[in-house]
Chain A
Amino acid sequence: MSNDVKISIEDLTKVFYKKNNSVTAFKNVSLEVKEGEFVCLVGPSGCGKTTLLRILAGLEHPSSGQFTIAADSDFRPLQSMVFQEKGVIPWLTVEENVAFGLNMRHLPKEFIRKQTDIYLKKVGLRNFSKLYPNELSGGMKQRISIARAFANDPEILLMDEPFAALDEQNKFILQEELLSIWSETKKTVLFITHSIDEALLLSDRIVLMSAHPGKIVNEIKVPIPRPRTMEQVRANAEMAEQFIAIWNHLQQEVQRSRG
């Protein structure tokens, strides 16, 4: 059983040290994510979700503790991150943005072209491949970010509120597209969101965090069969209860941080 653990985080702590006051972003966080699992990280603002993801992404160092990402193949990169809307690079065309990770790994040109084409098609941006991002809408930019991460074919995917800046309709469409690409590739995903709806729709498991200092307080399995629709999620009585439980938790956390 333990050999299909994909991400294993052990006792991770991150402190931001400053001259007068240091901030503990999160303390003693341990988490295991299974191969192919879709896990959503939900918690109040400032509980260290972004920091945790950035550590996994190699953009920040942990203060103590460790994590491992199990590698199945030497060929694949360990992880790729889907950044928010602004993560699309403005001086690269849509196509070059999607090919970015592959180009950075200096893979054969022909392979890059094919792989890029596949994912451009999957996110419906094939007709826009030669345009620059500033000519596209927010939703389309986010499609570029998703295509770029999947095209890189990493061991795991990290996503930090990728749909937070989108309107409801676009968010809906992109959530479905993400689920459809995910179900084809069966990647392990760690996904941050503030939206409980989004977490229930997307994930196999929701990890609930508390702030000051950030820690994991609860885990909720989401046993709704896939493929899912928002209607199914909304109609599910057990999930409605979970929704309220998570809602109350977040509500309390916000009150606590104010008081």
Chain B
Amino acid sequence: MRDEKGNGLFDPYETEQQEWKKQQVKERSKQLLTIISPILILLIWEICSRTGILDIRFFPPPSAIVSTFFELATNGLLWTHVSVSLYRIAAGFLLGVIPGVVIGLLMGLYAPIRHFISPIVMALMPIPTLALLPIIIIFFGIGDFSKIVTIAGSVFFPVVINTVAGVLSIEKVHLDVAKNYGASPKDFFFKIAFPGALPVMLEGIQMGQAIALLTIVAAEMMGATSGIGYLIWTSYKAFMLKEMFVGLILISFFGFLFSLLLRGLQKKIVPWR
């Protein structure tokens, strides 16, 4: 009231700017906390295993694991394991996600299909795909394809369920609009059901990604001659725990990376949120 031009104290822009700066500091400290927590754990681990609080045979210090990582990396063996696993994850992931999305959309859009397929999905879902691995290996051999099928099998379920939920979450009025304006079944599928279900669908895909990593390690431990899971398993059996930890940390790293990638992708392909 007193001063339109503002003497600094009452200038609304100034006040908001201060507020904004405070917000920025808060944001940055949040980011800092996110980075600090894993570092802190590694630091405590390092100290504990060096001072003997942790048994160094079972918990080698992170610094030793890092130097083992570089040894393995330079002799080239690590990359074959990593690239084999990444290939299986990518192929299995796609082989699970694509049918999951298509079948999920069909189930969401067409009630008869939904009621027909739902019981099958519900009956199969509780069976861990890993428990079927022996059968899968009989059918598809011990090579890449059996691993890919195993991953696809476990990725499929969260994707299909979330896609159906996504379609069912579309507001009825949007379906009415599409019907009123004469959308063909194809347009219904691609212009309404797919984008409308996308936000919920992506949550299922995010979940599928995590499951793919869990599955690959276990599948490679049980029946494989290469891959990160194989590396972990053989190192463990030979009591080479530093090598085993390299494998474990690689898996954790890729899980983190994929989550970030998917979240970034989410912002890109759901711009209307």
Give A residues with C-beta under 8 Å from B: 57-59, 77, 79-81, 83-84, 86-87, 89-92, 100-101, 103-105, 132-134, 148, 152
25 contacts between A and B (CB under 8 A): A57-B180, A58-B179, A59-B179, A77-B181, A77-B182, A80-B181, A83-B173, A83-B176, A83-B180, A87-B177, A89-B174, A90-B272, A91-B198, A91-B272, A100-B177, A100-B181, A101-B181, A103-B191, A104-B182, A104-B183, A132-B272, A133-B272, A134-B272, A134-B273, A148-B181
Contact A104 B272 (CB under 8 A): no
Task: Decide if B196 touches A83 in the complex (CB within 8 Å).
Answer: no
- Using C-beta atoms within 8 Å of the partner chain, give the interface range for chain B: 20 to 34
B186 to chain A, nearest CB (A): 10
Q: Are A86 and B182 in contact, CB atoms less than 8 angstroms apart?
A: no
For residue B192, which residue of chain A has the nearest CB?
A89
User: Are A58 and B180 in contact (CB-based, < 8 A)?
Assistant: yes
Contact, CB under 8 Å: B177 / A152: no
A94 to chain B, nearest CB (A): 11
Give B residues with C-beta under 8 Å from A: 171, 173-174, 176-184, 187, 191-192, 195-196, 198, 271-273
Partner of B187, one of A90, A91, A104: A104
| Minimum-distance CB pairs A-B, first 6 | A132-B272, A91-B195, A101-B181, A81-B180, A91-B272, A104-B181
Q: Are A84 and B181 in contact (CB under 8 A)?
A: no
Q: Is B173 in contact with A87, judged by CB distance below 8 angstroms? A: yes
CA distance A110 to B181 in the complex (A): 19
Min CB distance A67 to B, Å, is: 16
How far is A89 from B192 in the complex, measured between Cα atoms in Å? 9
Is B196 in contact with A91, judged by CB distance below 8 angstroms? yes
Chain B residues positioned under 8 Å from A134 (CB to CB)? 272-273
Tell whether A83 pairs with B177 under 8 Å between CB atoms, given A91-B195, A104-B187.
yes
Verify B173–A84 contact, CB threshold 8 A. yes
What is the minimal beta-carbon distance from A56 to any residue of chain B, in angstroms?
Answer: 10
* CA–CA, A149 and B176, complex, Å: 14
- Tell me the minimal C-beta distance from B175 to chain A in angstroms: 9
Cα A100 to Cα B179 in complex, Å, equals 11
Q: Which of chain A's residues has its CB closest to B198's CB?
A: A91
CB neighbours (8 Å) of B273 from chain A are: 134
Of B174, B182, B192, B196, the residue contacting A101 (CB under 8 A) is B182
